[in-house]
A and B are shown apart, each in its own frame.
Chain A
Amino acid sequence: GAVVSQHPSRVICKSGTSVKIECRSLDFQATTMFWYRQFPKKSLMLMATSNEGSKATYEQGVEKDKFLINHASLTLSTLTVTSAHPEDSSFYICSAPLTSGWADTQYFGPGTRLTVL
């Protein structure tokens, strides 16, 4: 199956710093990638859609100036949490869709666990 990687897998930072998370599709190209957030024992909530060559689209209630998204190439999207605060601590997961025939399957990265002190 298709492989999506994320880096770093875990990050601990001080309040006020910015953190960049990378999402890569390793063996396929993705003009679109998605960023999700998951709180402990909760489901995944879509934050934004990352579009290669254009601006990201954000879900309602997600601050675009807080969560900066850049889709620099067909295999790389980055999420930057700016001026992180403890309430931003969460598990961040990216995904990329792969279309094969009529099947449109999403593949997920392993996630990044962010802890803001």
Chain B
Amino acid sequence: GIQVEQSPPDLILQEGANSTLRCNFSDSVNNLQWFHQNPWGQLINLFYIPSGTKQNGRLSATTVATERYSLLYISSSQTTDSGVYFCAVASNFGNEKLTFGTGTRLTIIP
């Protein structure tokens, strides 16, 4: 099956800093989503982005499908950004089964 690797595994930043999280996948995808898992375990949808670039406030994401990677940018980090960020992909059109990446644990220090 498709392999999804995220980097870095852990990231500790001062409040106000910017960060870039990376997601590499081993096969072509028709679905790619970024999630933020908060400390209570809830997965919050950030982006649906199988290709192209999207922005939502301080967050933006870019997926280069031909090179099999996606990037999540967080600018002006806040303590509420802390948590685990996952990318998840589905590799076949019409197959909604998501394979999750290994995750990046982000800690924002006041």
Contacts and interface: CB of A to CB of B under 8 A. Distances in A.
Interface residues of B, number: 21
Contact of A43 (B40, B96, B103): B103
A110 interface: yes
Interface residues on A, range: 20 to 34
A107 B86 CA distance: 14
A18 to B, nearest CB: 23
B98 A106 contact: yes
B99 A110 contact: no
Interface string A9-41: 000000000000000000000001010101000
A45 B98 CA distance: 9
Interface in A74-115: 91, 93, 95, 97, 103-108, 110-111, 113
A95 to B, nearest CB: 8
Nearest to A38: B41
B97 A46 contact: yes
Contacts of B41: 38, 91, 93, 110-111, 113
Given A43-B86, A43-B101, A43-B102, A106 B42 contact: no
A44 B86 contact: yes
Contacts of A43: 86, 100-103
Contact of B97 (A34, A111, A113): A34
B21 interface: no
A61 interface: no
Interface of B: 30-31, 33, 35, 40-43, 45, 48, 86, 88, 90, 96-103
